[in-house]
Structure 1
Amino acid sequence: MSGTGSDSAIGGGTGPRWSVIIPYFNEAAFLPVPVRSAMAQQGTSLRLILVDNRSDDGSEAVARAVLAAAPTLEVVYLREDTPGQNHALARGFASVTTPFVAFWDADTTYPPHYLAEAERLLASGRHAVAQAIDVYADPLSAAGRRRRVRMRLTQLLLSRQGHTGSFGQCFPTPALRAAGGPLSPGWPYVLYDHELIQRVLKHGTATGSRDLWCLPSPRRSANAHVRWTLAERILYHVTPFALKDWFFYRFLGPRFERRRMVQANLRQRDW
């Protein structure tokens, strides 16, 4: 590989099918996990876009060291100085030229078939998003299989809403562009991933499968300071899709504003 500094594209490859955007903030201890997942993808092609959101722990150097073992993988290094994961995702999305784009988290493991399965689901052109299932056990164990079956049934029953965070969202690029991309000026709050799904579903339907899964870090359970209340979550599920704009921008947004549930809270960590 070649290239120096941020905002440089390195590596080879022609016409990749996917852009995988990984935003990160001080993830030196975790970033090798999704980077290695990208290196192991099978059945399709990808460009890896790494977006540094003002890290000061040497995360980029760690990623470069891991990627030295994959000299033919096309990699783009970017930097976004505005704090907030959705700002970093928007920075990465601005450089996307591939037919499909996936958002990955810097602490999540993705199986080698992940992108190929997402591409199979999105290839018909009917769907605007494929949502992965987050599994917190061996996906082939009894507990893992139950989780995958239960969440797939939930996706089918509640098909017009979000069921995964940005770590498990896969899009046809035109649909994501039509929705305005990852960053919404009208939503500076946490749970931007659900607000994004609301916008994207205006341009197509959602899909998924029991085989589209990933393994987030267990530390995700420590994010109690950025969650909505049980009542807010229930209302989200029962609000019809036609009223979801009201739910986000007239109901939930003002409540989050009063509680200062803004993007910066995601940078406050319990680990």
Structure 2
Amino acid sequence: MLTIVLCFYNEEQWIARTLASLATQTDRRFSLILVDNGSTDGSVAAARSALKGMADIDARFISEPVAGKIHALRAGTMAAGTRYVATIDADTIYPPHYTATLLAMFARRPDASCAIGFGLPPNGVDGWTHRKLRFFAWALPRKCHSGGYAQAFDTARLMASGGFDAKRWPYVLEDHEIVNAIAKSGPILYHRDLYCFPSDRRSDRSAVGWTLAERIAYKVLPVAVMDRFFYSFLAGRFLRRGAANVALRNQDQWNRAD
């Protein structure tokens, strides 16, 4: 039913925790594709060790030598052979009901293009962040209110939209751009129980995110102008300030794992 794509670059300190959370999933109708984007540390060995406890899950490694998460995402999603494909991050914890909730959402709405989970702080369920994100999902159901750590797509619709494509979008925020591309083919699904816990380790997001004004513009502008917002307005601004997708690899901005 589902392929989970986990792209990683030098995640030796984190990837085992993420895989351990996948090992607790109550609905195990998924396979794993792990995409190594040129790691120079022990990430692959750490992942293989963690997978020893998941003998009932089909997992395979592929390598994407071109630097940049968007290239790894394209390689991983193109290799998926299931109806649905989900992207996750190597520094994120997924509650045991994550895949069960996701598959149930798609079962109820087979016309959906994608399903997006909320990224919450530890112990943040029903807290302020959870309530705020649920409000945005209710008020602006055709916008993306989360990141690539919690996105899933109808695979056929994803491929028909062009998929992850560095030629179309070589910048950061590829998680929001891909939702803009695929949402034309069907509804975006949100659910209060689809959430995860990303790490809060990036101490400086200025090089990999948008400004407050850009974020507000994304929220308030109508869906009809989103193509122009991304491919004319935002692309030009990202180009001028050097916000290329490869900037996501800069770990100098991270608070290191314990």
TM-score (norm 1): 0.89
User: Quick check: 2:71–2:166 contact (8 Å CA) kept in 1?
Assistant: no
Question: Following the alignment from structure 1 to structure 2, what is the Cα–Cα distance between the partners of residues 157 and 96?
Answer: 32
User: Quick check: 1:31–1:59 contact (8 Å CA) kept in 2?
Assistant: yes
2:86 is aligned, of 77, 80, 102, to 102
- How many residues in Structure 1 have an aligned counterpart in Structure 2? 252
Tell me the alpha carbon deviations over residues 232-270 of structure 1, each in whole angstroms, 9 at most, x when there is no partner.
111111211111000011111011111111012111121
Answering whether residue 54 of structure 2 is matched by residue 54 of structure 1, we say no
Answering whether residue 5 of structure 2 is matched by residue 21 of structure 1, we say yes
Counterpart code for 2:228:
W
Per the TM alignment, residue 221 of structure 1 is displaced from its structure 2 partner at its CA by: 4.9
1:230 aligns to what? 212
User: Gaps (5+ residues) in structure 1?
Assistant: 1-16
Question: Following the alignment from structure 1 to structure 2, what is the Cα–Cα distance between the partners of residues 69 and 37?
Answer: 11
Counterpart code for 1:190:
V
Tell me the alpha carbon deviations over residues 200-242 of structure 1, each in whole angstroms, 9 at most, x when there is no partner.
1111111111100000001145323212111111111121111
Q: CA RMSD in A?
A: 1.3
User: Quick check: 2:3–2:80 contact (8 Å CA) kept in 1?
Assistant: yes
Partner-residue secondary structure (3-state), 2:127: helix
TM-score (norm 2): 0.93
Per the TM alignment, residue 72 of structure 1 is displaced from its structure 2 partner at its CA by: 2.4
Answering whether residue 232 of structure 2 is matched by residue 250 of structure 1, we say yes
Question: Following the alignment from structure 1 to structure 2, what is the Cα–Cα distance between the partners of residues 75 and 44?
Answer: 12
Q: Structure 1 stretch 108-117 or stretch 178-187: which is displaced more? A: 178-187
Question: Following the alignment from structure 1 to structure 2, what is the Cα–Cα distance between the partners of residues 145 and 178?
Answer: 37
Question: Following the alignment from structure 1 to structure 2, what is the Cα–Cα distance between the partners of residues 150 and 223?
Answer: 21
Per the TM alignment, residue 44 of structure 1 is displaced from its structure 2 partner at its CA by: 4.1
2:137 aligns to what? 155
1:255–1:223 CA distance, 2 compared to 1 (3 A): same
Question: Following the alignment from structure 1 to structure 2, what is the Cα–Cα distance between the partners of residues 221 and 234?
Answer: 22
User: Quick check: 1:38–1:48 contact (8 Å CA) kept in 2?
Assistant: no
Question: Following the alignment from structure 2 to structure 1, what is the Cα–Cα distance between the partners of residues 236 and 175?
Answer: 17
